């Protein structure tokens, strides 16, 4: 069973289901599994060095012949180099957590790469659409990781009313009911992070997955203490300590994590400073927030890669509290699409022609 939408037509995928580019999670195995199941899998390159991204693209291509995407930090100092890699490797989709410059969009589109930025407000969707973006992903406040204050049910229609390019809904989706609802709003598909994190192909340690599955609907919290901007995650003892820590203590920890991030990525201090300057301009951050940005990558890695839930953070959408299983990606997507199609048909049956006299 298939649902044809502007998103499936744009990219050439079977199902309007997107697996988001989650740092430390969205690697070749998960992305290829999503692509092979008919959805759009997106590699997370923000937590990869350039060489690691080269290897990840090659590995993904060895596991699937279907379209997939790569998420790129538009403000990264090597963003252009990464874009040229996507073009040379004929990657189908380039996604961005921040709006890319007009020139970057043009370069990708000229090479036949579909450009899909993630946005958090209707005005941002209007801007990237005017620059040539092919579609947008809009995430409401229910979503995990960096998120905004407006619920998907309000943010989505505001964006749909503002642009005429395909809009993919994110934040609070995990099953066929959600996909059917999003399509009814006018969206071209849904994007999910937490739901894909909790699958068999996700490389997150089993003990960490168990921690997610044990949580309820009220067990996420939005905090700015991790990296200076709102971040939705599971509420843990570490998060509680961060919430009650003073500014200097948090900044001191962030400086240490920045040094670890430098060592892990092999980046020079000069490159980190250039990235920091770009972040300040792009996100209007203070220097304290720029330094704290290293916290997010390192604390997420501690939990999602190393399994140290006591020393790391667990980005999580509110859907965590309603997910109770670990399906394969193929089973997950098939069930979502089948259920959505059934619900759409059921709703259509409610439409009754007026009686004629």
Q: If pLDDT is split at 50, 70 and 90, which confidence band does 166 have?
A: very high
Which tokens belong to 163? Answer: 């642009």
Q: If pLDDT is split at 50, 70 and 90, which confidence band does 257 have?
A: low
Residue 178 has pLDDT above 80, yes or no: yes
Q: Greater confidence, 81 or 312?
A: 81
Q: Greater confidence, 356 or 214?
A: 214
CB 51, CB 78: distance < 8 Å? no
Q: What are phi and psi of 91, to 5 degrees?
A: -70, 135
CB 171, CB 192: distance < 8 Å? no
Q: If pLDDT is split at 50, 70 and 90, which confidence band does 247 have?
A: low
Whose structure tokens read 């579609």?
A: 135
What is the predicted pLDDT for the residue at 188? 98
Please state the rounded mean pLDDT for residues 267-271: 55
pLDDT digits (tens, 9 = 90+) for 26-49: 999 999 999 999 999 999 999 999
Q: If pLDDT is split at 50, 70 and 90, which confidence band does 295 have?
A: low
Q: If pLDDT is split at 50, 70 and 90, which confidence band does 259 have?
A: low
Q: If pLDDT is split at 50, 70 and 90, which confidence band does 310 have?
A: confident
182 in helix, strand or coil? helix
Whose structure tokens read 């993630």?
A: 118
What is the predicted pLDDT for the residue at 270? 58
Residue 252 has pLDDT above 90, yes or no: no
Q: If pLDDT is split at 50, 70 and 90, which confidence band does 176 have?
A: very high
pLDDT digits (tens, 9 = 90+) for 323-337: 999 999 999 999 999
- How much of the chain exceeds pLDDT 90, in percent? 75
Q: Greater confidence, 277 or 47?
A: 47
Looking at 36-92, which runs of residues are DSSP E strands? 40-44, 69-72
Which tokens belong to 354? Answer: 């007026």
Residue 104 has pLDDT above 60, yes or no: yes
Mean pLDDT of the chain: 90
Global pTM exceeds 0.85:
yes
What is the predicted pLDDT for the residue at 76? 86
Which tokens belong to 288? Answer: 């304290």
Residue 267 has pLDDT above 70, yes or no: no
């Amino acid at each position: 069973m298939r649902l044809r939408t502007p998103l499936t037509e744009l990219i050439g995928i079977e199902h309007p289901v997107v697996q988001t580019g989650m740092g430390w999670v969205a690697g070749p195995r998960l992305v290829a599994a999503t692509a092979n199941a008919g959805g759009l899998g997106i590699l997370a390159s923000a937590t990869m060095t350039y060489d690691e991204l080269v290897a990840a693209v090659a590995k993904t291509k060895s596991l699937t012949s279907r379209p997939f995407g790569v998420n790129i930090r538009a403000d990264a100092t090597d963003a252009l180099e990464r874009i040229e890699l996507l073009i040379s490797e004929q990657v189908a989709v380039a996604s961005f957590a921040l709006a890319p410059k007009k020139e970057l969009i043009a370069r990708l589109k000229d090479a036949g790469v579909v450009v899909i930025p993630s946005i958090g407000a209707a005005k941002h969707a209007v801007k990237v659409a005017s620059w040539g973006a092919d579609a947008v992903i809009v995430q409401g406040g229910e979503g995990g990781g960096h998120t905004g204050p407006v619920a998907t049910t309000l943010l989505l229609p505001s964006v749909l009313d503002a642009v005429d390019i395909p809009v993919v809904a994110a934040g609070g989706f995990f099953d066929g009911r959600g996909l059917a609802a999003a399509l009814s709003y006018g969206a071209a598909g849904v994007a999910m992070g937490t739901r894909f994190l909790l699958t068999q192909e996700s490389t997150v340690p089993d003990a960490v997955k168990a921690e997610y599955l044990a949580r309820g609907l009220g067990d996420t919290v939005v905090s700015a203490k991790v990296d200076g901007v709102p971040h939705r995650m599971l509420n843990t003892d570490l998060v509680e300590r961060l919430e009650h820590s003073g500014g200097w203590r948090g900044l001191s920890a962030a400086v240490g994590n920045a040094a670890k991030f430098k060592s892990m990525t092999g980046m020079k201090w000069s490159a980190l400073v250039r990235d920091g300057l770009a972040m300040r301009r792009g996100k209007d951050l203070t220097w304290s927030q720029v330094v704290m940005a290293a916290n997010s990558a390192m604390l997420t890695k501690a939990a999602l890669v190393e399994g140290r839930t006591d020393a790391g953070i667990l980005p999580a959408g509110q859907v965590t509290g309603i997910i109770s299983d670990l399906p394969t990606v193929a089973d997950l997507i098939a069930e979502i699409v089948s259920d959505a199609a059934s619900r759409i048909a059921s709703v259509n049956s409610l439409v009754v022609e007026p009686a004629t006299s």
